[in-house]
């Protein structure tokens, strides 16, 4: 079925379902298997040569995960998707499919702390240089591109600053220089709030642990290929040239627009191994069926909580992208449905110690390193997600000692406001 003709809310339920008459099952089956029987030695050889479709080993592919990947690709309008074990593994596989020793990528300064550490430390040990732009302005990205640049990388909404970059402008820079534009769209909720492919992105990565799952019950990540990159422009011989791992196979010639996502699967999953479990893929499929309903409620709750906090005498600053005074307001209006997300930041008056007292006094809102859950989550980035950053890097990322990141859940927001009210009593 051509899911591109259906609306998002319909695709999130129907894409990836098994409509075969053999079972008639309404739901997707969980296949708890590691391996698969081959029909013949010739068939097995064709599978391993990538000349025939089918299942080899669950590290590469599983029927439950395939249904999940089909649904994700349909939601984004991509040519293919790859499910992996976490959002971080999605970034690792996505980047290492493009860059190797001596290459570089150019990235935004407004990144999640774990991504920042991957780029600044782990990739450096692999010989991949990460060039951090001074701002997210397209011109700052363009100034750092060289003939060894393999990708530009941003978050569609910075974590935790909620800065929204000029996706269209950076996408234009990437296209003009013949490099792919990768967008971490975790805050974009699987394309429901923001679909970067509409604004020039070539590759999307997403932490499925967050809004895709939606209930804090499984870890996962996805990579989505937009099928809109010219891999034969001379910059990517590992995709549009002979592959050493597959007897000279040219991915671009063999798989066309889907060359990149195939390489991520058969090289990234085969060699690095970050595959999701079939059960986790099943949980992601369940989560996707209610994604739009959950996210709409959470965005509305975030706006209400932000208004309450803005008027509180013990709050020094509220950073909500849906307010006109937020630096990302205009870009959010352009790129995000409802012009906002379900996350906001607040800086309390007082000290680190008083902020800690507030967090530890909360009864309903959970103190966790999580967003996109069905429960409201309050995170203190300086002591958790960005703990490993230096003082200078914390300042550049906009993380202060009294900054809190708040991700709204599915509760009645008035109950969350009452919870915040009682916790403020512990702040001097």
CATH 3.90.1150.10 in the chain: give the residue spans: 292-424
**CATH hierarchy code of domain 3-287:** 3.40.640.10
pLDDT in tens, 282-336: 999 999 999 999 999 999 999 999 999 999 999 999 999 999 999 999 999 999 9
Q: Indicate the pLDDT class of residue 26, thresholds 50, 70 and 90.
A: confident
Q: Assess whether pLDDT exceeds 80 at residue 382.
A: no
Q: In the CATH hierarchy, which fold is given to the domain comprising 292-424?
A: 3.90.1150
CATH 3.40.640.10 in the chain: give the residue spans: 3-287
pLDDT for position 1: 73
pLDDT for position 18: 76
Instruction: Note whether 47 and 54 are within 8 A (CB).
Output: yes
Q: Indicate the pLDDT class of residue 391, thresholds 50, 70 and 90.
A: low
pLDDT, mean of residues 384-389: 58
Q: Indicate the pLDDT class of residue 113, thresholds 50, 70 and 90.
A: confident
pLDDT in tens, 190-214: 999 999 999 999 999 999 999 999 9
pLDDT in tens, 154-184: 999 998 788 899 999 999 999 999 999 999 9
Q: Indicate the pLDDT class of residue 381, thresholds 50, 70 and 90.
A: confident
In angstroms, rounded to a whole number, what is the distance separating the alpha carbons of residues 180 and 232?
12
Q: Indicate the pLDDT class of residue 237, thresholds 50, 70 and 90.
A: very high
pLDDT for position 395: 62
Instruction: Note whether 345 and 202 are within 8 A (CB).
Output: no
For 117-183, give the secondary structure using H, E and C.
Answer: HHHHHHHHHCCCEEEECCCCCHHHHHCCCCCCEEEEEEECCCCCCCCCCCHHHHHHHHHHHCCCEEE
Q: Indicate the pLDDT class of residue 352, thresholds 50, 70 and 90.
A: confident
Average pLDDT in the chain: 94
In angstroms, rounded to a whole number, what is the distance separating the alpha carbons of residues 330 and 211?
24
pLDDT, mean of residues 351-368: 92
Q: Assess whether pLDDT exceeds 80 at residue 386.
A: no
CA angle 368, 12, 98 (to 5 degrees): 70
């Amino acid at each position: 079925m051509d899911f591109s003709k259906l609306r998002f809310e319909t695709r999130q339920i129907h894409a990836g379902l098994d409509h075969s008459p053999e079972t008639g099952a309404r739901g997707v089956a969980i296949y708890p298997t590691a391996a698969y029987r081959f029909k013949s030695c010739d068939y097995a050889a064709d599978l391993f040569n990538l000349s025939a479709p089918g299942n080899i080993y669950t590290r590469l592919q599983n029927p439950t995960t395939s249904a999940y990947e089909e649904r994700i690709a349909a939601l984004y309008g991509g040519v293919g998707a790859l499910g992996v074990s976490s959002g971080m593994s999605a970034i690792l596989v996505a980047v290492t499919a493009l860059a190797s020793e001596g290459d570089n990528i150019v990235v935004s300064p407004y990144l999640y702390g774990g991504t920042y550490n991957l780029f600044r430390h782990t990739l450096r040990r692999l010989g991949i240089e990460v060039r951090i732009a001074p701002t997210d302005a397209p011109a700052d990205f363009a100034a750092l591109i060289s003939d060894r640049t393999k990708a530009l990388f941003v978050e569609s909404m910075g974590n935790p600053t909620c800065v929204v970059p000029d996706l269209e402008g950076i996408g234009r820079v990437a296209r003009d220089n013949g490099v792919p534009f990768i967008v971490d769209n975790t805050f974009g909720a699987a394309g429901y709030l923001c679909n970067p492919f509409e604004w020039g992105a070539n590759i999307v990565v997403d932490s499925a642990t967050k809004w895709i799952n939606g209930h804090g019950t499984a870890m996962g990540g996805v990579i989505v290929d937009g099928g809109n990159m010219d891999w034969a422009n001379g910059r990517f011989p590992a995709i549009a040239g002979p592959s050493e791992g597959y007897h000279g196979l040219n991915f671009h010639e063999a798989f066309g627009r889907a060359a990149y996502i195939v390489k991520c699967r058969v090289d990234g999953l085969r060699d690095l191994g970050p595959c999701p479990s079939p059960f986790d893929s099943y949980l992601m499929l369940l989560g996707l069926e209610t994604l739009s309903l959950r996210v709409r409620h959470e965005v509305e709750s975030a706006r209400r909580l932000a208004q309450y906090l803005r008027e509180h005498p013990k709050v020094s600053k509220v950073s909500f992208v849906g307010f006109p005074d937020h630096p990302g307001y205009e870009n959010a209006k352009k790129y995000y449905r409802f012009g906002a997300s379900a996350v906001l930041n607040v800086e309390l008056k007082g000290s680190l110690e008083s902020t800690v007292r507030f967090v530890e006094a909360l009864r309903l809102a959970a103190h966790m390193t999580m967003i996109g859950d069905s429960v409201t989550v309050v995170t203190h980035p300086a002591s958790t997600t960005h703990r490993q950053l230096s003082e200078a890097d914390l300042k550049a990322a906009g993380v202060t000692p009294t900054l809190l990141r708040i991700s709204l859940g599915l509760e009645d927001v008035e109950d969350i406001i009452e919870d915040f009210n009682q916790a403020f009593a512990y702040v001097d």
